[in-house]
Amino acid sequence: MKILIAVPALNEENNVTVFYQAVQKEAARIHDIELHIIFIDDGSTDNTLAEIKQLCLTDSKIHYISFSRNFGKEAAIYAGLEYASEENYDYVIISDIDLQDPPSLIPEMIAEIITGEYDCIAARRVTRKGEPVIRSFFARQFYSVIRKLCEIDIADGARDFRIMTIQMARSLLSLKEKNRFSKGLFVWIGYKTKYLEYENIKRKSGETKWSFWKLCTYAIDGIIAFTTVPLYIAAICGILFCFISFLIIIYIIIKTLVFGDPVAGWPSTICIILMLGGIQLFSIGILGLYLSKTYIETKQRPLFIIREKK
């Protein structure tokens, strides 16, 4: 039986060897299984690729793909799954390289999945200890919003860290969209998933690649990829305000007929104009977001470009 661990890496020169050693330690506990690793170098500008190549010289079960530039973690995950599918592995594991996805869970994941009861064994953080409080807060809010809006039940604290059957990996690959929100896609394709729980672990070395701004756009892209509810909200706002303005028009006509027309109400007029202007811009913004995503999808560009692989 052959299992592949797909590991996206962007500027992780200090983590490559540490990760490899941690996995080797676990591999010693697993029997009758060929465990391979593929590193997907996502356009690193430090020595990550050199470190990976160094490891390749010592171990034939290590492979790598190096992108021509940074294409993002989602693209790297896709490349890893594609490799597993082409090379006919039986199962694929997706894992971060910074040891925040504890390799110590791997033997348990493998033991669970080979029973055949589940198609995917995923890891779920039960705490966000060690993460900035504001970041945790917004992350929680985001997941509760996306769960309500999109009707996809992303488990709280679910990570990309998981093992899945090659069949499930191929289903993921069959979703060709460019705006990929993996956490949602995992749920969307269905299959049976079991969650293993663990406590949050601090990154081994280096820094997180996710700035607050990047997380915000990730959140918006995630919502847009999975639901058109924001468009409905914009449309409903429009209808609601038409209705309200209709009532106000009737009120003003009656008031003018009964009491005459003393000129007043300039401030309220300005308030109404500003508010409607705001709502219009908001709605156009939502429309624009969907349009821009559609535009990007129609270009049919590849998700990533490979510069080297082994």
Residue 12, interface with Mg ion (CB under 5 A)?
no
- Which of ligand UDP, Mg ion, none interacts with 82 (beta carbon under 5 to 8 A by kind)? none
105 binds ligand UDP (CB under 6 A): no
Q: Does 160 interact with Mg ion (rule: CB under 5 A)?
A: no
Measuring CA to CA, how many Å separate 200 from each of 21, 27, 67, 141, 274? 21, 22, 29, 18, 46
- 11 binds Mg ion per the rule CB under 5 A: no
61 binds ligand UDP (CB under 6 A): no
Q: Is 23 a residue that touches ligand UDP (CB under 6 A)? A: no
- Shortest approach of Mg ion to residue 98 CB, angstroms? 4
Cβ-contact 64, 40 below 8 angstroms: yes
Binding status of residue 212 toward ligand UDP by CB under 6 A? no
CA-atom Rg of the chain in angstroms: 25
**How many CA within 13 A on the CB side of residue 17?**
10
Nearest distance in Å: CB 57, Mg ion: 27
- Is residue 184 a contact point for ligand UDP (CB under 6 A)? no
Is 103 one of the binding residues for ligand UDP (CB under 6 A)? Answer: no
Among 14, 70, 85, 283, indicate the residue that binds ligand UDP (CB under 6 A): 70
DSSP-H helix ranges across the chain: 16-27, 48-58, 73-86, 106-113, 133-150, 166-174, 182-188, 212-226, 229-259, 266-298
CB contact at 8 A, 305 and 67: yes
Stretch that binds ligand UDP, among 30-38, 90-98, 109-117, 258-266 (CB under 6 A): 90-98
> Is 209 or 293 the residue whose CB approaches ligand UDP more closely?
209
**Nearest 5°: CA angle at 92, between 11 and 226?**
80
What residues line the site for ligand UDP (CB under 6 A)?
8-10, 12, 42, 70, 72-73, 76, 96-98, 100, 203, 208-210
